Structure 1
Amino acid sequence: MAQEASARLVTEQASARDGSVRTRLRVLRSSWPLMLRATSLPGPGPLTGWVCRDAPAACVHLAAGAAGPLGGDRLRLEVDVRAGSSLMLGEVSPTLLLPGPHGEESHLDISIRVGAGATLAWRPELAITARGCRHVTDTRVVLEDGARLLLREEVLFGRQGERPGSYRQRLRVRTPGGPLHDQELGVGPAAAGWDGPAVTAGHRAAGALLLVDPGTRRTTDTALHSPDTALMTLSGHAVLFSALAHDTSALRRRLDHALGRLLTVPPEKPAVTTPEAVTVSS
C-alpha cells in the first residue's frame, strides 16, 4: 500500500540568558516513515566551523522509519531556516529506492527556505536506485539576502551487479536576484543515453556540492579539476562542484576533498578606498 507522509522543520534565532545568540528548533514535526530527530553537532572540523560561523547551529537528522520509498509513495519535507539562525541537516543512513507492486513512481518533494543572514548545511546520505524503481526527487530552495547554503548530493546507479531503476532528481535554487541554479539528472531505462559520454560516461556513482556563501570569494581552485570532476562558478558568490566515480568510496573521497578546500577559502577582502589627493592653495 502506497504511503503519504510529510515532515516540517523550522528554526529561529533566540537569545540566551547571558545575552548570546543561539538557534532554537521552533517546529519539529514528522510522521512515519519520515522521522526528524534533534541530534548533536559533529566534532570540530571545517563543516562545523562553517555552519556555526555566525551563530551556534542546531543539528537535526532525518531517519527512515521503513524501507523505501517504494513505488507509489509520496513524501514531502519542508525546511524553514529563519533569519539569523543556523542548521545542519543530515540523514541517518543511505536511502534505498525500491519498486512498488504496481510499477508506480515514488516522489520526494523537498521545499527549503533560508532566511536573511541564515545558514543551512543540508547533507542527505547516498541514494541507491535499485533495479525496477521509478523515483523522482524535486528540491526547491529559496535563499533570502545574505543566506548561506551548502547542499550535498550522492547517488549510486543500482546495487552491485544490477542495472539501475529510473531516477530523476531536480534541484532549483532561487535568490532575491532571480534563479541561481536549475539542474536535472535522469538515469535508468527512462532516460535514453544516460550512461553515455555526455552524462555519466559509464560511471556508477555521481555527486555534487553546491556552496552559496556571500562571505567568501568564488574559487577557481585548479586542484578540483580532473577528467571526472568539474568546478563551476555561479553568480552570487556560489560554486558548484560535480564528480563522477566508479564506486561510492571514490565518490565520497572526491566530495570530501572538495568540501575541505571549498570551506577553507579565505573570506573576501573588503575593497580598499584610496583617498583622493587634495590640493591646498596658499
Structure 2
Amino acid sequence: MYDLGSSAMRTFAHQRVHGAAVLGYRRDEHGRTRLADLYQRAPCRLLFPDAEHDEPTQAVLLTTSGGLTGGDRLDFTLRVDDGARVVVSTQAAEKLYRALDEEADTRVDVHLRVGAGAWVEWLAQETILFDGARLRRRLDAELAPAARLLATESVVFGRRAMGEDWRRGLLHDAWRIRRDGRLIWADALHLAGDVAAARAAPFGFGDAGACATLLYAGDDAEAQLPLARALLADHPGAATAFGGLLIARLLAADAAALRRSLIHLAGGLRQGIAGLPARLPRVWYC
C-alpha cells in the first residue's frame, strides 16, 4: 500500500512536452510550389488542406496536447525556397495555462526562412493567456533579397466572456527580422509579475483585453502604408513603415473584436499587395 504522504510521492515530475515541426517547400520546373521537407514530433502536427484555386499552397499547424503550460516547448521551422508561395496558419487559438512556480516558462520558437522572390504568410491565431501563464515566444525570420513575408501574432489576456483575466505571469514576445543576413528589425514586448497593473496603465493597454502585431516585409512596404491606414480607419490600430517593413499594432476590448480587425487588415493587405483574395485560411472562420 502506498504512503501518499511520503516525500517520494510528493516530488513526482509533471509530464511536459517538447514538440517540433519542420516544413520545407520548393518551386518545381513548372512554377508550382511543392512539399520538399516534413518532420513532426508530438504534440505538433501539420495538416495540408486543399487550397482554393486562387490561393497559394497551404499548411495548418496544430498541437494535440489541448494547450500548453509551464515547461512545455514548441519549435517550428519553415523553409521556403526561391519563388515558392506558401501560407501557414495555426488551426485554432492556443491556450496557455497556469505555470507552477517551480516550472520553467513555456517557450514557443518560430523560425522562417524565405527564399528570393518567395511569398510567405505566417498567420498564427490567438494565444490565450490564463492567469498565471508564463510565455516566452520568439519569431525569427531570414529573408533573401526580394522575399516577401506577411506575419501576424496576437495575444488575449484571458477569456473575458468566461469572467477570466490574466493578472499575473510573464509574457516576453520577441521578433527578429533579417534581410540578406542583416538585422532590420528587433522588437520585444515584456510584461512580468503584476501584469494587471502594467496593462491598466493609460500609456500601456488601458482597458484592452487583446493585442496583435502584423508585419509585412517587402521592397514595396512603404508604398503599402496608405492602404494599411485606410484599412485601419474604423478599427483600433495604427501602422507605420520604414526600411522595407510595414508594421501595424492592434488593440481590442476582447478576442472577438481583435479577430475581426486582424482578418480585415491582413485580408486587405494580401489582396492589395499580392492580388490574393481578401480572406484568410478557412480555419480562421471555424
TM-score tier by shorter-chain length is 0.7 to 0.9
Summarize the Cα distance change of 1:226–1:197 in structure 2 as closer, same or farther, 3 Å threshold.
farther
2:217 equivalent to 1:209: no
Deviations 1:46-71 (A, max 9, x none): xx3xxxxxxxx321111111122210
Answer whether contact 1:225 1:231 (CA < 8 A) is retained.
no
Residue 254 of structure 1 corresponds to which residue in structure 2? 261
Answer whether contact 2:235 2:261 (CA < 8 A) is retained.
no
Q: Classify the secondary structure of the residue corresponding to 2:185.
A: strand
Match for residue 225 of structure 2 among 193, 215, 219? 219
Structure 1 residue 258: Cα displacement: 2.0
Summarize the Cα distance change of 1:99–1:227 in structure 2 as closer, same or farther, 3 Å threshold.
same
- Counterpart of 2:206, as a letter, is A
Q: Classify the secondary structure of the residue corresponding to 1:108.
A: strand
2:82 equivalent to 1:76: no
Structure 1 residue 203: Cα displacement: 0.5
Q: Classify the secondary structure of the residue corresponding to 1:262.
A: helix
Structure 1 residue 42: Cα displacement: 4.6
Answer whether contact 2:142 2:181 (CA < 8 A) is retained.
no
RMSD: 2.2
Deviations 1:217-268 (A, max 9, x none): 23234432578311101212x311111000122112222222243334478x
Summarize the Cα distance change of 1:266–1:91 in structure 2 as closer, same or farther, 3 Å threshold.
closer
Residue 36 of structure 1 corresponds to which residue in structure 2? 46
Residue 280 of structure 2 corresponds to which residue in structure 1? none
Matches within 5 A, 1:45-124: 48=55, 57-101=56-100, 102-124=102-124
Count how many residue pairs are aligned between Structure 1 and Structure 2: 251
Does 156-165 or 125-134 show the bigger shift?
Answer: 156-165
Q: Classify the secondary structure of the residue corresponding to 1:59.
A: strand
1:41 & 1:186 partners in 2: Cα distance? 37
2:183 equivalent to 1:175: no
2:159 & 2:249 partners in 1: Cα distance? 21
Q: Could you tell me the TM-score, scaled by structure 2's length? A: 0.80
Percent pairwise identity:
27
2:236 equivalent to 1:228: yes
Summarize the Cα distance change of 1:144–1:181 in structure 2 as closer, same or farther, 3 Å threshold.
same
Deviations 1:92-146 (A, max 9, x none): 1110011244443110111111011111111111100011111111111110101
Deviations 1:178-205 (A, max 9, x none): 3222221234536562332222122001
Structure 1 residue 209: Cα displacement: 1.4
Summarize the Cα distance change of 1:227–1:197 in structure 2 as closer, same or farther, 3 Å threshold.
farther
Match for residue 13 of structure 1 among 21, 27, 51? 27
Residue 270 of structure 2 corresponds to which residue in structure 1? 263
Q: Classify the secondary structure of the residue corresponding to 2:266.
A: helix
Summarize the Cα distance change of 1:5–1:264 in structure 2 as closer, same or farther, 3 Å threshold.
closer
Deviations 1:143-163 (A, max 9, x none): 010101010112100123223
Residue 159 of structure 1 corresponds to which residue in structure 2? 159
Answer whether contact 2:71 2:104 (CA < 8 A) is retained.
yes
Residue 189 of structure 1 corresponds to which residue in structure 2? 193
Answer whether contact 2:155 2:212 (CA < 8 A) is retained.
yes
Residue 2 of structure 1 corresponds to which residue in structure 2? 16
Structure 1 residue 215: Cα displacement: 5.2
2:193 & 2:164 partners in 1: Cα distance? 13
2:120 & 2:67 partners in 1: Cα distance? 26
